[in-house]
Amino acid sequence: QKGLYMNERYQNLKAKECQALLSPEGRQIFAQRKIDVEPVFG
């Protein structure tokens, strides 16, 4: 049988990172990363 295992530490870190991204400083940093580094060749 297969089972579902949840890692509580991973879930806590994921929630903490989500809160950091939603902060004003996190939004500013994330907005800078949305820019394409290099256009697609073709």
pLDDT, tens only, 5-41: 889 999 999 999 889 889 999 888 888 877 666 766 7
Report pLDDT for 35. Answer: 67
Whole-angstrom Cα Rg for the chain: 17
Calculate the CA 34 to chain-centre distance. 12
Domain containing residue 25: 1-31
Asked whether residue 38 is assigned to any structural domain, the reply reads no
Report pLDDT for 16. Answer: 92
Report pLDDT for 32. Answer: 81
Instruction: Report yes or no on whether pTM surpasses 0.75.
Output: no
Asked whether residue 40 is assigned to any structural domain, the reply reads no
Report pLDDT for 29. Answer: 84
Asked whether residue 37 is assigned to any structural domain, the reply reads no
With a CB cutoff of 8 Å and minimum separation 6, the contacts of 26 are 20
Q: Report the domain count for the chain.
A: 1
